[in-house]
Chains A and B, each alone.
Chain A
Amino acid sequence: MNGTDVQPASAVPAWADALYDVLVRQDVRQVAYVPDAGHSRLIELCAGNPDMTTTVMTTEEDGIALLAGAWLGGDRGVLLMQSSGVGNCVNMFTLIENCRMPLVAIVTMRGEWGEFNPWQAQMGQATPDVLARMGVQAHRVDDPEDAAPTLDAAIRQSFDGSLASAVLLSQRLIGRKAFTEEG
């Protein structure tokens, strides 16, 4: 243990499978992402579904634009990213608000619970405020049991009401699950 491996990519958390089931049930067709270890299971499941188009983005803001285009073409989409990516999205959030487009982002939080990398701290701490300032309603998830129902609620209110939502998966949730499975 070198003290830096806080997000084992090999972990297969049950909440990720539950989130995937919600995406399928809610007819989500496009999944844009900039990878995070916490999203690896969900990305893998989505990539394996022939009814979903997964697109790896070079920056998270492009994911916002891509999902806006997807919605113009009739596809529901979600964006998977980590909290640092929320900072990259700031100006592109104006596209969503100006056009009253739906947006659902699933954000794995960094910099808030046993984070080893201090460079993650500022954006992790700022993420809820940045989202609020840019018109994105954040729903924080601390308990793995709440992940799927929270995503389901976020998708419903976003696509039914043309609103922007983010589901914040706390670092404690991601880390705790990973450690217990390793243990």
Chain B
Amino acid sequence: MADEPRLDRREAVARLLQDRCDLLVVAGLGSATYDCAAAGDDPRNFYLWGAMGGTAAMALGLAQAQPERPVAAITGDGDMLMGLGSLATIGAAAPANLSVIVLDNEVYGETGAQPTAIARGVSLSEVARGCGIEAMDDIRDMNALATLAGRLQLREGPLFANIKITTDEHPRVLPARDGAYLRARFREAVLGTGP
């Protein structure tokens, strides 16, 4: 498995968000948050700095509140594994406008690259399918990624996509950490209202 092609996380996320249109993003803690910030800070990104395991569930609540807009959870395999039950919740709720995108490097990158369960053969795509969510085959090239970027806009989900990425580390691009600020600017951008 290790010799199969993998994508660079920064290039992958930059491609996903390049023509985002109305896409709302909840980014999981750690590198997924840095990747989304590196692609260009946007008030319609909600960056998590904690709440591990909650990214997909948070995106579900947002998707249910904003059914006319595409919503994506973008997170790492460690966060997704902690919130594995949320895939069952999403499968049961079946929001058409929600995509769950995992940046899968098979390690806990923030804490010293300890292997996740994925490294021992667990497949998040198969878990998602078992939960009744349509899952793309693991994404390993930019063509498949472009297909995903287009499908995010269709609101024909829920959709799950697991992107196999390298373990290469990038300089950290740190967005704001003040949750109240992130919350207020997101609501202002999406709802035209505060707080």
Interface residues of chain A, those whose CB is within 8 Å of chain B, are 29-30, 32, 53, 55-59, 61-75, 77, 91-92, 94-95, 98-101, 162
B1 at the interface (CB under 8 A from A): no
Beyond A62-B83, A72-B186, A72-B190, whether A55 also contacts B54 by CB under 8 A is no
Contact of B66 among A56, A61, A74, A91 (CB under 8 A): A74
Chain A neighbourhood of B89, CB < 8 A: 55-58, 62, 66
Beyond A69-B62, A72-B62, A91-B51, whether A58 also contacts B93 by CB under 8 A is no
Chain A neighbourhood of B51, CB < 8 A: 65, 68, 91-92, 94-95
**B contact residues, total (Cβ < 8 Å):** 38
B180 at the interface (CB under 8 A from A): yes
**Which residue of chain B has the shortest Cβ distance to A100 in the bound complex?**
B180
User: Is A64 touching B54 in the complex (CB atoms < 8 A)?
Assistant: yes
Contact of B92 among A56, A59, A63 (CB under 8 A): A56
**Which residue of chain B has the shortest Cβ distance to A67 in the bound complex?**
B61
Chain A neighbourhood of B92, CB < 8 A: 56
Chain A neighbourhood of B49, CB < 8 A: 98
B88 at the interface (CB under 8 A from A): yes
Chain A neighbourhood of B128, CB < 8 A: none
**Which residue of chain B has the shortest Cβ distance to A64 in the bound complex?**
B54
Chain A neighbourhood of B193, CB < 8 A: 74
**Which residue of chain B has the shortest Cβ distance to A70 in the bound complex?**
B61
Kindly list 6 other residue pairs between chains A and B, CB separation below 8 angstroms, not including A32-B61, A72-B62.
A58-B89, A62-B83, A64-B54, A69-B64, A72-B61, A73-B191
B46 at the interface (CB under 8 A from A): yes
User: What's the nearest-Cβ distance from chain A to residue B63, in Å?
Assistant: 8
Chain A neighbourhood of B61, CB < 8 A: 30, 32, 55, 65-73, 75, 77
**Which residue of chain B has the shortest Cβ distance to A54 in the bound complex?**
B93
State the CA gap A162–B86 with chains docked (Å): 25
User: Is B65 touching A72 in the complex (CB atoms < 8 A)?
Assistant: yes
Chain A interface SS verdict (over half): mixed
Most buried by A among B53, B57, B58, B191: B57
User: Is B62 touching A98 in the complex (CB atoms < 8 A)?
Assistant: no
Query: What are 27 inter-chain pairs, A to B, with CB distance below 8 A?
Result: A29-B65, A32-B61, A53-B93, A56-B89, A57-B89, A58-B88, A62-B85, A63-B57, A65-B53, A65-B61, A66-B89, A68-B61, A69-B26, A69-B61, A71-B61, A71-B65, A72-B46, A72-B61, A72-B183, A73-B66, A73-B190, A92-B51, A95-B51, A95-B54, A95-B58, A98-B50, A100-B195
Contact of B54 among A61, A71, A74 (CB under 8 A): A61
Which 7 residue pairs across A and B have the least CB separation, nearest first? A73-B65, A69-B61, A65-B54, A58-B85, A99-B179, A98-B179, A69-B62
Beyond A67-B61, A72-B190, whether A61 also contacts B26 by CB under 8 A is no
Chain A neighbourhood of B53, CB < 8 A: 61-62, 65, 92
